[in-house]
């Protein structure tokens, strides 16, 4: 198998774990209060408003990010969001590499939620 096949296969496998949802679909999916819902924005952003029942794990606090996500069930779906979708997309890829089986990302982030 060539290097490119190995490289892209890994990327495809990660992409199969990640799904970006529009706000309406996301809202329906998180209506069950037992979902793992994480806001990856800074604490100040989180405190200025967040989706009900979301926990805050700052993407840019790399030590706390990995430690916090290591305590979360990787076998259950996880729902992420940030301000506009950029950080949560990066966080999604990081979580896929960490072994999370299904990751849902809010398209357009919290800006689209409001």
pLDDT of residue 33: 79
pTM (predicted TM-score): 0.87
H or E, element range at 11? helix 3-17
The edge-to-edge listing of strands for the beta sheet with 18-21 is: 18-21, 103-106, 78-81, 36-39, 55-56
Going from N- to C-terminal start, the domains of the chain cover 3-113
Q: Which of 80, 76, 77 is nearest to 105 (CA)?
A: 80
Contact 37, 30 (CB under 8 A): yes
The stretch 15-19 carries a mean pLDDT of 89
73: left (phi over 0), alpha (psi -120 to 50) or beta: beta
CA 10 → CA 15, 31, 44, 97, 101, distances in Å?
A: 9, 32, 35, 9, 14
User: For 20-59, what is each residue's pLDDT tens digit?
Assistant: 999 999 999 999 878 999 999 999 999 999 999 999 999 9
Per-residue DSSP letter, 17: H
Sign of CA dihedral 103, 50, 28, 34: positive
Q: What Rg, from alpha-carbon coordinates, does the chain have?
A: 14
3-113 belongs to which homologous superfamily?
Answer: Rhodanese-like domain (3.40.250.10)
Percent of the chain with pLDDT over 70: 87
12 or 36, which is more confident?
36
């Amino acid at each position: 198998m060539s290097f490119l096949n190995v490289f892209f296969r890994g990327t495809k496998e990660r992409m199969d774990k990640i799904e970006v949802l529009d706000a309406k679909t996301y809202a329906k999916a998180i209506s069950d209060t037992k979902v793992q819902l994480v806001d990856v924005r800074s604490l100040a952003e989180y405190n200025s408003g967040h989706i009900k029942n979301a926990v805050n794990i700052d993407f840019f606090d790399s030590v706390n990010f990995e430690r916090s996500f290591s305590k979360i069930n990787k076998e259950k779906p996880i729902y992420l969001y940030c301000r506009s979708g950029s950080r949560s997309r990066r966080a999604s890829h990081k979580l896929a590499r960490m072994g999370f089986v299904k990751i849902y990302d809010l398209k357009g982030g919290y800006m689209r939620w409001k």
